[in-house]
Amino acid sequence: MTYSIPKDFLWGGAVAAHQLEGAWQTDGKGPSIADVMTAGANGVPRQITDGVKPDKFYPNHEAIDFYHHYKDDIKLFAEMGFKSFRTSIAWARIFPQGDEEQPNEAGLKFYDDLFAECHKYGIEPIITLAHFEIPYNLVKKYGGWRDRRVIDFFIHFATTVFKRYKEQVKYWMTFNEINNQTDYKEQFLMATDSGLVLEPDDPESEALMYQAAHYELVASALAVKIGHEINPEFKIGCMLNVSPLYPATCKPEDTFQSLKAMQRRYWFGDVQALGHYPRHMEAFFQDNGLRSDITAEDRVVLKEGTVDYIGFSYYNSTTIAAQENNPEFHFVGPEAIQENPYLTTSDWGWPIDPLGLRYSLNWLADHYHKPLMIVENGLGAKDEVTAEGKIHDDYRISYLKAHIQAMKDAIEKDGVSVIGYTPWGCIDLVSAGTGQMSKRYGFIYVNRDDEGNGSNKRLKKDSFYWYQKVIATNGEDL
């Protein structure tokens, strides 16, 4: 056992189909929930419209047109030395309506070609099955994941792609940031995670969230089981959004609130990694009359389908305080969030906390005793292109440098097992939260603005050369 970054470490980058592919109706693709989301702005939420409206702008429809640029883009990833590339399969390319029997061959073919292109350069694809892109028909016809039948549709999709890409893809994840919906009053998070389109004050939203999440967890566990039958070499992970919740002060109530909030936000990981609901959740359901449809068969499936590794995103920590009107320390939303005076923030108000990544790695290792993969991390920032076509993104380099150092500390000093690091939006793409292009994460700049204008030309930022060096030295030279 060595306490250093492994030789075969999966350095790479991460994206999601709906945020970069574009070509939303090409080769038979059906619309997904992402295709009915308008562009928001910093602090302005995206709207979810009832179908596609002709007078609205939907940034994901064209995105950065990766669908037609993927060969050149993967060549650039290879030039940076990527060992891995995390993307998702757009469910609605394979099953345009979500509930049909026969898959769309043209959609399957696109991913054959994409994965072949990765392997040409020795890049290992890491594939998310559901990344905020449930077919829109499943939202309209079944109400999204509130309906148990969606498990079958998802499993049909998962089985189809597991079989098709059995030889091309080894690393999979089931549901992206499955725990975002903890914030059940946030329309966007409910829609993206579960295809639940609700009014913010819907009195049923909490119950619906627990029901939808349960069906997703069952679907996730079934997918793990089936995937391992199709290819025992598959490594199938979960994917959690990890933002450790710090207490605002050492007041016992704040500290206890932060602990309860951690339980409420991360129990999804317990189910996926350990195979059962933690007792605190069972007690919470009972205490609050939340009676989901959870069968004895479901519980067996959950036990049999535990994940091989823990994939997670880390952008920031969150600091919260106890609320006087909440004596039982139930889940608290944005109202409980406090400014952390020890941290600076990004232009979008996200705290910057590299030590929080080391904290998260330790916490996950302690809870789940499974290998960890950091499948998203990064800084969304505005970039300027100089007259010479350069992008001097030293702010991004310093964010990533500090976070990679924190990961190294966790590996070397804390003995945490980490198998990969795929920073988010390795090429600029459409922001999930805001729909903006100007919230950029990439090593590669894409000429496109928030209104959808631009040449789509790609440019290498300073961080491109920096990350190339990081990978070449296996993280030695930051």
Instruction: Please list the active-site residues.
Output: 177, 376
Between residues 104 and 272, which has the closer beta carbon with respect to ligand P53?
Answer: 272
Cβ-contact 90, 478 below 8 angstroms = no
Question: What are the structure tokens assigned to 397, written together?
Answer: 């380099």
Among 5, 16, 33, 310, binds ligand P53 (CB under 6 A): 16
90 closest CA partner among 149, 175, 32, 156: 32
Assign 245 to helix, strand or coil. Answer: strand
Residue placing its CB nearer to ligand P53 in the complex, 380 or 475: 380
Under 8 Å between Cβ of 87 and 17:
yes
Alpha carbon distance 442, 382 (integer Å)? 11
Q: With binding defined as CB under 6 A, does residue 183 bind ligand P53?
A: no
Output the CA torsion 255→328→287→364 (10° steps). -20
The nearest distance, CB 301 to ligand P53, in angstroms, is 25
Rounded to a whole number of angstroms, the minimum distance from the CB of residue 68 to ligand P53 is 21
Distance CA 409, CA 400 (A): 14
User: Binding residue for ligand P53 (CB under 6 A) from 32, 194, 211, 313?
Assistant: 313
Chain residue whose CB lies nearest ligand P53? 433
Nearest CB to ligand P53, comparing residues 37 and 108: 37
Binding mask 410-439 for ligand P53 (x = CB under 6 A): --------------x------xxxx----x
Alpha-carbon span 146 to 133, nearest angstrom: 16
Any contact of residue 374 with ligand P53 (CB under 6 A)? no
Q: Is residue 384 within 8 Å of 461, Cβ to Cβ?
A: no
E strand map for 17-176: 84-88, 124-130, 171-175
Q: Which residues contact 67 (CB under 8 A, 6 or more apart)?
A: 21, 22, 23, 26, 110
Pick 73 or 177: Cβ nearer ligand P53:
177
Q: What number of chain residues touch ligand P53 (CB under 6 A)?
A: 16
Residues 17-36 that bind ligand P53 (CB under 6 A): 19
Instruction: State the binding string over 210-249 for ligand P53 (x if CB under 6 A, else -).
Output: -------------------------------x--------
Q: By CB under 6 A, what part of segment 443-462 binds ligand P53?
A: none
Smallest distance, ligand P53 to C-beta of residue 279, A: 28
Residue 248 structure tokens: 């605002």
Binding ligand P53 (rule: CB under 6 A), the pick from 21, 133, 177, 353 is 177
For ligand P53, the closer CB: 183 or 298: 183
When the beta carbons of 113 and 347 are compared against ligand P53, the nearer one is 347
Cβ proximity to ligand P53, 87 vs 104, nearer residue: 87
Put residue 443 in one of left, alpha, beta given phi > 0 → left and psi -120 to 50 → alpha. Answer: alpha
Residue of the chain from 174, 176, 179, 182 that contacts ligand P53 (CB under 6 A): 176
- Distance, in Å, from the CA atom of 207 to the CA atom of 179, rounded to the nearest integer, reads 15
Calculate the alpha carbon distances from 307 to 74, 275, 374, 413 in Å.
28, 9, 15, 26
Inter-residue contact 80 to 464 (CB < 8 Å): yes
Residue 179 CA to residue 266 CA, distance in Å, equals: 7
Pick the piece of the chain touching ligand P53 (CB under 6 A) from 3-11, 176-184, 214-222, 468-476: 176-184
Binding site for ligand P53 (CB under 6 A): 16, 19, 176-177, 180, 241, 313, 315, 376, 380, 424, 431-434, 439
